[in-house]
Structure 1
């Protein structure tokens, strides 16, 4: 378990499936991630059983520190030990938790896990251009834009670009210093 000020992350367990399933039904979340399919509970359970056997990924629940309630999940996936890199994805399960800083804090905790526990050098993600809130959260957590795949998604009668963002270990260390200095100056 890795704790922040408002949330903590921990490995996903069987009791998390109901929340993950509900998150897979959330229209806004599906749109922001470019997901076209709606999954059944059985598909969600089977997917996470499969994920738990995959040594190139870590799936983690995002829980509120105050009461332990799961509010989202994230994944460090496609871990490439040879090149010291991985992919990142995150989802909050209810729009009631959007805009409260939980996603940004969980992203920072995932970075801590990636760079300090897994000892990787690069964490990468893709986000669609219509997900303005997600882009701002990733930037706030220190991710940098690297490139754009123009009009790579056609959804709701509109094209969206796919933005590639990353954080390197050196960026993570620089951000740590920045946050530590900010805390000292409070």
Structure 2
């Protein structure tokens, strides 16, 4: 598969972009966490903390289009457990102007390549709101399998929502690698 995007480390100036994504009501309504109103100054501190801390249990990655160093989105891997070889992939936030270009699958595949080939994990989990069919379809296309429905897992948009728990293991990744020629 040919990739039109790449990952890079966060830069301090990315805080402005990240804060603008956080203010996108439609995007915020689809992610699993609670909505947080964050001042730009706090976002700048958060990005700076990610840049300066050497936390081995999480990785945040800026997503850029080839040919440009400008951030168009980001993804993260957290709860990295080197002893057991497990981690959590948080999904993707990408600017709405760049959606519909296949970047979601590219980000997911690159993130999984990093998880299994660089971090040497054997299992990666992901979650998605039961009603967020686009995210669930994307994860399944990238080899994740549904493990179970977590009922009333998150309070979102004024009600408790169900969340799917999905996972991909190293054997699944081998098949995925062949399918997409990674």
Tell whether the structures are fold-level matches, with TM greater than 0.5. yes
Listed as ranges, the matches of 1:16-27 within 5 Å are 16-27=14-25
Listed as ranges, the matches of 1:40-59 within 5 Å are 40-52=39-51, 53=53, 54-59=55-60
Counterpart CA distance in 1 for 2:133 and 2:49 is: 31
For residue 36 of structure 2, what is the aligned residue in structure 1? 37
Contact 1:51 1:57 (8 Å CA) reproduced: no
For residue 131 of structure 1, what is the aligned residue in structure 2? 132
Please list the CA deviations of residues 93-114 of structure 1 after superposition, one character each: whole Å capped at 9, or x if unmatched.
4222223211111110011111
Contact 1:142 1:172 (8 Å CA) reproduced: yes
Contact 2:153 2:161 (8 Å CA) reproduced: yes
SS at match of 2:153: strand
* Cα shift at 1:50: 3.1
- What is the number of equivalent residue pairs in this alignment? 179
- TM-score, structure 2 length as denominator? 0.89
- TM-score, structure 1 length as denominator? 0.87
SS at match of 1:13: coil
Contact 1:57 1:79 (8 Å CA) reproduced: yes
Unaligned runs of 5+ in 2: none
SS at match of 1:68: coil
Please list the CA deviations of residues 16-74 of structure 1 after superposition, one character each: whole Å capped at 9, or x if unmatched.
11111111111111111143212111222222333342221111001111433311101
CA-atom RMSD in angstroms: 2.0
SS at match of 2:15: helix
Unaligned runs of 5+ in 1: none
Q: Which moved more, 1:35-44 or 1:103-112?
A: 35-44
For residue 103 of structure 1, what is the aligned residue in structure 2? 104
